Structure 1
Amino acid sequence: MAQENQTGVKEFVIVGFPGLRPEYYGLASAVMFLVYFCTLVGNVLFLFLLFKERSLHKPMYCIILNLVISDILFSTTTLPKIIARYWFDAGAISFTACFVQMYFVHYFGTVNSYVLLIMALDRYVAICYPLRYPTIIKNSTILILSITAWVVAKACPLMMVIRAYPLPYCASNAIVQCYCDHIAITVLACTDRTPYGFPAFIFAMVVLLVPLAFIVFSYCAIIVAVLKIASTQSRLKTLSTCSAQLIIIALYFLPRCFVYLASNVGITFSTDLRIAIIMLYSLLPPMINPLIYCLRTAEVKQSLIKRFRGQKVDIQRTNISALCH
């Protein structure tokens, strides 16, 4: 069957937005390049700050480190090809490369889901069991959980690729999406997609809903714990430690849940709108997450200010030294 694939379809073509007119291709590629550039710059700068500032070598920032790496890799997996499609009219992607991209798209999405679960666990222990937090949540604990997340996340995407790769692709090779994902590829197979699509849907629900269920439980427990605090000021201060995480979690889960629920209750979108929504919830969070860390996390903000002021002082000293000589 694999041989039939190779003789039927040797490459796929990334269509992107099928309703986009050619005169807007330049604008589309420029916008996506700007998103990719901002994602790389923001996350790489945050990585640099994490490695340089010893004050940030704490469990919570070790968790964020995983999210930053995953965001960089996901954006690098998806954006360059669709940018090339609109910028250089280079939308063709080889048969095998498309499945490799599909694997990494779902893999990094799964990693993000598990990392957000670990993030919720960190806040749950910190607020509900503050005295036991230093003994339960340590850098070594987060390292073990992070490695587990990256390893366990391989299972579902790998199973999806193994089941989809041998299908007979003998019709259209046009992928109506901005990157290769399971649905966009398997709808092109010349066979009944149901036996392959349903298990993939179950995998997606497990990856999405199991972490989400724990996150909802943990934040319900956090709210109960916060309500027991007598001082209003202390309540607000405690909740503020969760604000960045809550925004990141909401950006990841809410749009995905909306799309899945909408499709199940019969709400339909145009193809271009559906792709736009998927691109927004896939690529917007990696771009704005570093901004959330910096604006909503006091320690990161202070580290940035300290580094900026330190550089300013060094520049002033250099200028004074030059004038003296």
Structure 2
Amino acid sequence: MPEENHSIVTEFFLTGFPGLHPEYQGLASAVLFLVYSLTLIGNATIFYLFATDRSLHKPMYYIILNLCTCDILFSTTTLPKIISKYWFESGTISFTACFVQMYFVHYLGSVNSFILFLMALDRYLAICHPLSYSLVLKNSTICILCITVWVIAMTGPLTIVIRAYPLPYCASNIISHCYCDHIGITTLACTDRAPYAFPAFVFAMFALMGPLAFIIFSYCSIIIAVLKIANVQGRLKSLSTCSSQLIIISLYYFPRCFVYVASVFGIKFSTDVRIVIIMLYSLSPPMINPFIYCLRTKDMRESLKNKLNRRTILQKAQVSAIGN
């Protein structure tokens, strides 16, 4: 069938969680709103600390700043629409808006994956090649790499959107998901989706498995390098500098790999379970990451502590002045 747009569909309907009982829809939307609020507050706090504390102007924190930007944008792309569905019964999304959302979902997912690659590169050079770390990863270098990541990640999602948009959509317009993605949209096309699914699969493997392969290599190299350190305390110190990144990387990749391996072995999930799993691994990391930075990263933890102590001192001084 030629790729001409013979669609009679003018808008799509997002089901959200299909099996959710109406009496729990308010609770679900409240939870999603809480997740969105915590994501914005947590990541905005990281921006504030970075802007007000020059000691954080280091390569690793520039990478974290890019991850925060990606997390805020991804949550803003996906959550407001599904929250409005349950609050205002507004589950419809226009034809074009759905494809725009699909683009940003896949684009920001790719950016996230490549930023985690940069995180692993930072720790690999810091531990395996400490003498050349400051020469190779300067602030200017990491900024260029981050900009490159944002630019390179545009290509794949743009290609799959351009190929999917002209398909004829002349049957159901119901997307069993909380947001528009490639699989959810193209399964509704009145044509064979195989020619469009394979390029999307190749892109997904490049965006996810490419960085993951380097991440596995880098952390294997890090473990080998750490085991060569004679001092046990030195080993623990080296590993502690990787702990926050390793937790963040695990939160991003492990659930995705689990879903992929399950599909390979023929394990099928119900629609509700599948959507819950996807929402958990898509939206939990943006909310949890800022807490990991502040609790597990020494410089950021100290910066936050200093800000809170300073605020406490100012409040006590104001109370004392009012009392006098």
State if a TM-score over 0.5 links the two structures.
yes
Instruction: Quote the residue 2:291 is aligned against.
Output: 291
Shift of 1:147: 0.3
1:313 aligns with 2:317: no
Q: CA contact under 8 A between 1:107 and 1:153: conserved in structure 2?
A: yes
**What RMSD over aligned residues (CA atoms) do the two structures have, in Å?**
0.9
Give the match for residue 269 of structure 2. 269
Q: What is aligned with 1:64? A: 64
Partner of residue 24, structure 2: 24
Question: Is 1:12–1:174's contact at 8 Å kept on the other side of the alignment?
Answer: yes
Q: CA-to-partner distance for each residue in 1:33-81, whole Å, 9 max, x for gaps?
A: 1111111111111111111111111100000000000000000000000
Contact 1:2 1:165 in 2 (8 A): no
Matches for 1:211-250 after TM superposition, within 5 Å: 211-250=211-250
Deviation at 1:24, TM superposition (A): 1.4
TM-score, normalization by structure 2 = 0.98
Aligned partners of 1:14 and 1:177 also within 8 Å:
yes
**Paired residues of 2:124 and 2:222 also in contact (CA < 8 A):** yes
Taking the aligned partners of 1:73 and 1:185, their CA distance within structure 2 comes to: 21
List aligned pairs for 1:1-325, cutoff 5 A.
2-5=4-7, 8-324=8-324
Contact 1:71 1:286 in 2 (8 A): yes
Q: Secondary structure at the match of 2:16?
A: coil
Shift of 1:3: 4.3
Greater mean alpha carbon deviation, residues 269-278 or residues 306-315: 306-315
Residues 235-255 of structure 1, C-alpha deviations (whole Å, 9 max, x = no match): 001000000000000000111
Amino acid at match of 2:205: M
User: Shift of the alpha carbon at 1:321?
Assistant: 2.9
**AA of the residue aligned to 1:147:** I
Aligned partner letter, 2:174 = A
1:198-231: per-residue Cα shift (whole Å, max 9, x none)?
1111110111100000000001110110011000
**Alpha-carbon separation, structure 2, partners of 1:280 and 1:217:** 27
Gaps in structure 2 of 5+ consecutive residues: none
CA distance in structure 1 between the partners assigned to 2:195 and 2:5 by the alignment: 21
Q: Which amino acid aligns with 1:100?
A: V
Q: Deviation string for 1:2-42 (max 9, x for gaps)? A: 5422xx00000111111112121111111111111111111
Change (3 A) 1:21 1:322: closer
Is the partner of 2:172 in helix, strand or coil?
coil
Which amino acid letter does the alignment assign opposite residue 157 of structure 1? P
What 5-or-longer segments of structure 1 have no aligned partner?
none
Counterpart code for 1:47: F
- Kindly tell me the number of residue pairs found equivalent between the two proteins: 322
Q: How many Å apart are 1:191 and its aligned residue?
A: 0.4
Determine helix, strand or coil for the equivalent of 1:12.
strand
Q: What SS is found at the alignment partner of 2:13?
A: strand
Q: Distance in 2 between matches of 1:260 and 1:198?
A: 15
Q: Does structure 1 retain, via aligned residues, the 8 Å contact 2:5–2:167?
A: no
Q: What is the CA–CA distance in structure 1 between the aligned matches of 2:174 and 2:77, rounded to whole Å?
A: 19
Q: Deviations over 1:134-168 (max 9, x none)?
A: 11111101101000000000011001100100000
Identity %: 65
Taking the aligned partners of 2:281 and 2:313, their CA distance within structure 1 comes to 40
2-structure distance, mates of 1:4, 1:89: 29
Cα distance in 1 for partners of 2:238, 2:276 equals 36
Residues 106-136 of structure 1: per-residue CA shift (max 9 Å, x gap): 0000000000000000000000111111111
Aligned AA (1:76): T
